Amino acid sequence: MYRLVFENDRAILEVNENMSVAELKKLHSKLSKGIEIKKVDTISDEQMKMLWCIFKDLGELIGYTKEELRKELENKYCSEKKIEYFSISPNKRNCASKDIATDFIAWIIDWSIHQGYNLILHIGKGPNKKLKSARDICPDISRYIVACLRNKVCAVCGRIEADLHHTPALGVPYEQDTGLLTGFIPLCREHHSLAHSIGLTEFENRYHLQGVWLNPTMIMELKKVYPGHFKAFKKENYE
């Protein structure tokens, strides 16, 4: 185990106290040849803190310790993505890259929505502590909305059994809706009514949400979730 620390403008390499004299001499010989400084793409401290916050709050919600949930979700993620197991500590040799960490956070949010968990996080400490929803922390808002669409979850508050909100307004009868004429956001009755009363621009600015435009494959999938919608869509036109 090596750890580089800085004290009074000096760099000190800390090593395991059980390291043998021979190993110390070998290490010293390597260090005497100089040290190369190389930038590497690693998970950020902010991403690491966010992940531990997710593991803690989501774990308490579903009955896991934060360490148990970390192991469970990392294993699921790596198995699904077919990648090597990684660390979420930027100080470890096998730490995740920023891109992997970003995707992992978004994947956990997708997973929690699919499992029916309304993820609320306690960010910060003391008087600075704030409550944030999955919508507030998701690194890819379009991906978040798609996950909500697939699971009929309100993209604002996380309530289940949400309905589709057209963005902008459909402009034609529902019988003529192919699903390709507008974007969509899934909203509960309360936020659906609010969206219509305050208008699209104010709603998008207030909640930092924008409708997702669907492709034919997504429409075929969502027709099963929202049987009253997309009545004019003809599957045979896109096969």
**pLDDT tens digits for the chain (239 residues)?**
677 778 888 888 888 888 899 998 998 888 888 887 777 789 999 999 999 999 999 999 999 999 999 999 999 999 999 999 999 998 888 999 999 999 999 999 999 999 999 999 998 888 888 999 999 999 999 999 999 999 999 999 999 999 999 999 988 998 999 999 999 999 999 999 999 999 999 999 999 999 999 999 999 999 999 998 999 999 898 87
Determine the pLDDT at residue 187.
98
Q: Within 10 A of 237 (CB to CB), how many other CB atoms are there?
A: 8
| pTM (two decimals) | 0.82
Determine the pLDDT at residue 5.
79
Determine the pLDDT at residue 1.
61
Residues in Cβ contact with 154 at an 8 Å cutoff, skipping those fewer than 6 apart: 148, 160, 162, 186, 187, 188, 191
94 beta partners: none
Determine the pLDDT at residue 28.
86
Are 101 and 43 a contacting pair, CB within 8 Å?
yes
d(CA 238, CA 99): 34
Determine the pLDDT at residue 155.
97
Determine the pLDDT at residue 9.
83
Determine the pLDDT at residue 143.
96
* Burial classification of residue 83, based on how many CB atoms lie within 10 Å of its CB (0-12 exposed, 13-18 middle, 19 or more buried): exposed
Q: Within 10 A of 77 (CB to CB), how many other CB atoms are there?
A: 18
The residue extents of the domains of the chain are 2-31, 45-134, 141-238
CA atoms within 13 A on the CB side of 215: 2
